[in-house]
Amino acid sequence: MRGAPPVQMACGRDARWHAAECGVAALAAACLGYGLSRQLNLTPGLTLTAAAALALTAAVAWWRWVDRRPRSMLVWDGTAWSLDGKPGDVELMADLGRWMLLRFSDHEGARPWWLPMDLRRFGAAAHLCRAVIHAHAGALSPAHAGEMPRSPHG
């Protein structure tokens, strides 16, 4: 059986994922503002104003911070994964047709990177990207070949 050919995939910046992250940040800030306002016994109008102001501030701050992150390059070289030159492992977390969510864990044990991928950006290469991810995501890289697979239940 032949392995998948080498492929490079630009990922990590997607408008829908970006909007969802901003929404979660805004909701969390609104809940915090509401809770603090209730603890301070503010009037309902001030409580709503504080929650809305914090939500808006959090959404704008998150949008500006995330917008500065560079696009990442995920590479399958035919035998192993790397993200911007760092070797690691890829797991497919969601495949929604034209959009996928991957989790990249580098071999140094740093926090995992969540990588949204809009396959419409790849054009004709979209099928190749999906095939490589489905064929090799979740497989242990050569650096971890002797390890036992992790259980999803701990």
Show me where the domains of the chain are located. 7-13+70-143, 15-67
- Dihedral over alpha carbons 107, 112, 116, 117 (to 10 degrees): 10
Residue with the two structure tokens 């969601």 = 94
DSSP string, 3-30: PPPPEEEEES--HHHHHHHHHHHHHHHH
- Give the pLDDT score at 116: 85
- Give the pLDDT score at 153: 42
pLDDT tens track of the chain, all 154 residues?
466 678 888 776 677 777 888 888 899 899 988 888 889 998 988 888 888 998 998 888 887 776 666 678 888 888 888 988 899 998 999 888 888 888 999 888 778 888 888 887 777 677 787 888 888 776 555 554 445 444 444 4
Q: Evaluate the CA torsion angle 50, 52, 57, 62 in order and state its sign.
A: positive
- Give the pLDDT score at 152: 45
- Give the pLDDT score at 65: 76
- Give the pLDDT score at 87: 92
